[in-house]
Structure 1
Amino acid sequence: MIKATNLHKYYGDLEVLKGVDLHITKGEIVSIVGASGAGKTTLLQILGTLDVQSNRKDSSLLINDTETSSLNDKELARFRNEHIGFIFQFHQLLPEFTAIENVCLPAFIKKTSKPDAEKRAKELLDFLGLKDRYLHKPAELSGGEQQRVAVARALINNPSIIFADEPSGNLDSESADKLHNLFFELREKFGQTFVIVTHNEDLAEMADRKLTMVDGKIINKAVIAS
């Protein structure tokens, strides 16, 4: 599913990732924890193809058996749109669009027809308990509802992998708990793989594996007992 080998990342003279190796299998839920500045978000961005490793010639990033470093920008954008979904701490919904319009955006980029995109968006919003919120704009939704719209948007193209960066960091504890449990429901229903950067220890411990990062390296790959 995901196999990363020898990932390095430099910003000027600062080395943020120091030779990260990682293998994530289909259907796993993996949490990544560590102090601020450890390299978690940088790693997530590279795994999600939003950024590139600094040593592309002597590293590898395989996603669904595709070597992503061999793709040009247009091919990579298409690959990302079709295979990967993203959930961020701040939902990144467009304020002028309704919930259903926000959810449909990745499908429209994929050239899905409007009727098919809206049908799928409604199915996802219904599943996420937002059947009565189709036409509400983000300002008319609670924080938890906004984040569930963002989850629906991440799922609209049926991606095989969901990357989440502090997905519950902006939610109250009740909404956070609901979102955490939702990830496992989604895994059971749709079979996605989840890679989640989080400071939330409860979410980290719920995962199948918890990876701990320190100073640009993964130092612990604990399997969580069920």
Structure 2
Amino acid sequence: MIQAKNIHKYFDGLHVLKGVDLHIDKGSVVSIVGASGAGKTTLLQILGTLDKGSSKDPYELIINGENVHLMKERALARFRNEHIGFIFQFHQLLPEFTALENVCIPAFIKKTKKEEAEKRAKELLSFLGLQNRYDHKPNELSGGEQQRVAVARALINNPGLIFADEPSGNLDSESAENLHNLFFKLRDEFGQTFVIVTHNEELADMADRKLTMVDGNIIS
């Protein structure tokens, strides 16, 4: 699913990623752990095509057989929209839109018909136990409910790959546990691949693989 070779990244002369090599199998749940500043989020953003590695250090990033590093911006944006979903610590829902409308946004970007997008969004929200929350705006939802709406949004285009950055970091312990179990249920139901940056050791240890980053490198 993912093959990354020799990924370097610099910020103002600081060498953040130091030649990371990584292979992730399809249908696996992989956690990435490490101290703050180890490079976890930077690596996740590059793997998710939201950022690029160092141009002065040749690297390779292949996702689902596609060399995304060589894609032009428009093609890359289309690939990202169709094949990758994102879940963040802060759900980043648009406050003026309902849960249903927030979930539909990636589908509308893909130019999915409104009727089809809304049908899929309702299926996902119902699957996540939010069948009575379609018309509620984010400020009318609990933190756990908001995060489940964000999960539905990440899934709306049926991506094969989900990146999550501290997805339970803003949740209480019960909501966090429910979200963690949900990831594995989704993997089992839909065969998706999850790459999760987390400080939550319980979630990290549940994963099929646990990768530890130290000072810009994966050490285990």
Normalised-by-shorter TM-score class: over 0.9
- What is the aligned partner in structure 2 of residue 223 from structure 1? none
In the TM superposition, residue 200 of structure 1 has moved relative to its aligned partner by 0.1
Distance 2:69 2:28 in 1: 23
- Judge which range, 49-58 or 198-207, deviates more: 49-58
Number of matched residues? 220
Q: Which residue of 2 aligns with 1:154?
A: 154
**Residue of structure 2 equivalent to 1:141:** 141
The answer to whether the 8 A contact 1:56-1:69 is kept is no
Instruction: Say if 2:30 and 2:208, in contact at 8 Å, map to a contact too.
Output: yes
Question: 1:194/1:56 Cα in 2 relative to 1: closer, same or farther (>3 Å)?
Answer: farther
Q: CA deviation at 1:55?
A: 3.4
Matching residue of 2:38 = 38
> 2:8 aligned with 1:8, yes or no?
yes
Task: Quote the Cα distance in structure 2 between the aligned partners of 1:39 and 1:195.
Answer: 14
For 1:150-188, what per-residue CA distance to the aligned partner results, in whole angstroms no more than 9, with x for missing partners? 000000000000000000000000000000000000001
Q: Does the aligned pair in 2 maintain the 1:32–1:211 contact within 8 Å?
A: yes
**What corresponds to 2:96 in structure 1?**
96
Change (3 A) 1:167 1:63: same
RMSD of aligned Cα (Å): 0.7
Taking the aligned partners of 2:187 and 2:200, their CA distance within structure 1 comes to 19
SS at match of 2:132: helix
Distance change in 2, residues 1:84/1:123 (3 Å): same
Separation in 2, partners of 1:160, 1:105 = 18
Q: Note the 1:102-117 alignment, pairs <5 A.
A: 102-117=102-117
SS of residue matched to 1:168: coil
Give the drift of 1:57.
Answer: 6.0
Aligned amino acid, residue 69 of structure 1: H
1:54 matched to 2:32? The reply is no
Residue in structure 1 matched with residue 74 of structure 2 by the alignment: 74
Fraction of identical pairs, as percent:
77
Corresponding position of 1:206: 206
Match of 2:179 in 1: 179
Gaps of 5+ in 2: none
Gapped runs of 5+ residues in structure 1? 221-226
TM-score in terms of structure 2 length: 0.99
Q: Shift of residue 191 of structure 1?
A: 0.6
With the length of structure 1 as denominator, give the TM-score of the two structures. 0.96
CA distance in 2, matches of 1:57, 1:122: 45
Residue matched to 2:24: 24
Runs of 4+ in 1 over 4 A off after TM superposition: none
| Cα distance between partner residues in 2 of 1:56 and 1:219 | 24
Please give the alpha-carbon distance, in whole angstroms, between the structure 2 residues aligned to 1:38 and 1:94.
Answer: 30
SS in 2 for 1:195: strand
Q: Shift of residue 216 of structure 1?
A: 0.2
Q: Does 1:168 align with 2:168?
A: yes
Amino acid at match of 2:140: E
Structure 1 residue 12, shift from structure 2 partner = 1.9
Q: What CA distance in whole angstroms lies between the structure 2 residues aligned with 1:178 and 1:131?
A: 17
1:119 paired to 2:119: yes
Give distance in 2, aligned partners of 1:13 and 1:92: 30
Shift of 1:56: 6.7
Q: What per-residue deviation string (whole Å, max 9, x for no partner) do you get for residues 3-53 of structure 1?
A: 000000011210100000000010010000000000000000000000000
Would the aligned equivalents of 2:8 and 2:57 in 1 still touch at CA under 8 Å? no
Residues 195, 46 of structure 1: CA spacing in aligned structure 2 closer, same or farther, 3 A cutoff?
Answer: same
